[in-house]
Each structure stands twice: as structure tokens, then as C-alpha cells.
Structure 1
Amino acid sequence: MGHLLLFLVVVSFLLPLSTANVGTASSYSPPYIPTKCFGNDGSQFPPDGTLAAAGVENWMNGEACGRRYVVRCLSSEMPGACINGATVEVTIVDQAAGLGSRQSLAGTTIALSQAAYSPIASLDAPFIHIEFAAI
């Protein structure tokens, strides 16, 4: 009975991780419009400015538009950049490759607006390793 309970506890902790993906993120600065998803219509943006742009593997010819993700910083090459345990919910509004800034050059998985990046990591970190899951 004790082994079964221990097994169930371990499995319950591992299940959420099995649906998450890992990748990298960088921040990008305003202006955030126009976007590939909504053009000049900023009314589609979350009120708190937690926007994101999908990298090549997540863009899927625009199918990523409007998708929401919860993102967590796992690590960074800059010591202390991640805010431990912090997460942020983001909405995909653009394609990272079209932004012409460092996230497209670095090939990051998701480019986060400054309002989305700062709750999970220091804006001084050029990129971070992340875990993200669709919500």
C-alpha cells in the first residue's frame, strides 16, 4: 500500500511536466504594433501587456495567433536572472522572425514583451531558458 501511494504521488508531480515544452526566450521592446496576427488592432492585446511572438517552430503559418502560454524561467547564463517560481501568462500576437531584433537572430522559441519578461527574469539577461505550456 505504501509503495502504491508513493508511486501515485510521484506520478502526480510528473504529469504536469510531461505537457510542458522547453526552449529559450528573449525580450523585445515597443512598438508592438503592427503585428502579423492583428495588424494595427491593439484591442486584441492583453490589458497587462504580456505579449509574445512565436518562434519558427511554434508559429505554424500563423496558427499560433491568439494562443496562450504559461511561461517559467528555468535558467540563464547570467547568474540570478531567473525569478524563482515565477510564471507569466502570455498571448501570441506576432511572429518572432519578423521583429528584426535579437530574438530573431538568436532563434529563440518565444520572444516576450518587456511586460511579460520582467516578472520571470531580469531584463538585463539577453535570453533565458524556459518551460512553457499551452493554457
Structure 2
Amino acid sequence: MGLLAMRMVLSLCICREVSLVLGDIGTATSYDPPYTPTKCNGNRQDQFPPGNLFVSVSEGLWDNGAACGRRYRLKCLSGTKRPCKGGTVDVRVVDFCSERPCPSTIVMSNSAFSAISHSPNAKINVEYIQYDRIILLVFLFFCNFFS
């Protein structure tokens, strides 16, 4: 039983890292309030997840509005003056980028941005993956690992 538990813990650690390796690369910036109205749910306050960890996305991720509610895991990779804190942040899409052209692939709320960057006004390079893909990768890994 101890060996099985160790394999499971090791598998979870590997899956967490593998999920980001399979992600996409883009850029991120932050934006200030007011955050409403949004293209997804207008003025509804319940659209915002706990901790205000949400984003607005550019045309490439918007998918004609299908992006609303999608969850992404982001990791800061690089930027001017070493802005990255390390670690990841999980966010929810609540809006379409209002600026034309959009300044980055993903525009993050101040709270979400500060979770991965020391510099509030920086443009950073990020790796991101849609959250449901992480769950699928973990499931597939376990199926292959234990078969």
C-alpha cells in the first residue's frame, strides 16, 4: 500500500508540471477597475471568482464568446526587469478585451496579475493552459500509469 501511495503522489507532482509544458505561450498585462460591465455577464457581480482572479481575453481566445467562464492556469515566464514571482494562478474568463488592438493575449485583473508578477504595469510572457485540459491530462496519465 505504501508503494501505491508513493506512486500516486509522484504522479500528481509530475502531472502538475506536465500540464504547463503542454500549454500555449502568450503575453499578459493587467487592467484596473471598473471591471463591469463585461461582455460575458454584464453587471452581475457573481461572475467574478473568489479573490478576483479573472481575465479578459483577446480575439484569439475569445471564440465568439465561447470563452466566457473558461478557466486557465497561467505561469509567468519572463519580462523586463524579472517580474515573475514563480508559481501559477488559476483564472476565469469574464470579458473580451476592450482595447483595439488588445495589448496582450490575456489581460488580467490586478489581483490575478499580482499573483504571478512583481511589476503591476509590466507586459509579461506567460504560459497558459485551459483548466479542463489539465484534468484530462491527469486522467490520461493515471490511466496509462496504472495500466
> Structure 1's 134 and 36: CA in aligned 2 closer, same or farther, altered over 3 A?
same
Name the residue aligned to 2:130: 134
SS in structure 2 of the partner of residue 126 of structure 1: coil
> TM-score, normalised to structure 1's length?
0.79
Q: C-alpha displacement at 1:125, in angstroms?
A: 4.0
Query: 1:122 and 1:105 mapped to 2: Cα distance?
Result: 25
Q: SS in structure 1 opposite 2:30?
A: strand
Hey, what's the Cα distance between the residues in 2 that align with 1:130 and 1:25?
A: 6
- Please tell me whether residue 35 in structure 1 is matched to residue 31 in structure 2: no
Residue 57 of structure 1 and its aligned partner are, at CA, apart by 0.3
> 1:87 aligned to 2:54?
no
Task: State the aligned residue count.
Answer: 117
**Residues 83 and 120 of structure 1 are in contact (CA less than 8 Å); yes or no, is this contact kept in structure 2?**
yes
Where do residues 105-120 of structure 1 align in structure 2 (5 Å cutoff)?
105=101, 107-120=103-116
Structure 1's unaligned 5+ residue stretches are 1-11
Report the Cα offset of residue 69 of structure 1: 0.3
**AA in 2 matched with 1:28:** Y
Map 1:37-56; keep pairs closer than 5 Å. Answer: 37-56=40-59
Equivalents in 2 of 1:75, 1:125: separation in Å? 14
Identify, as 1 or 2, the structure richer in helix.
2
The code of the aligned residue for 2:75 comes to: R
Shift of 1:18: 5.0
TM-score (ref. length: structure 2): 0.73
RMSD of equivalent CA atoms: 1.9
Q: Is the 8 A contact 1:81 1:125 kept in 2?
A: no
Q: Deviations over 1:74-108 (max 9, x none)?
A: 000x2121112x21110000001x2x3xxx54541
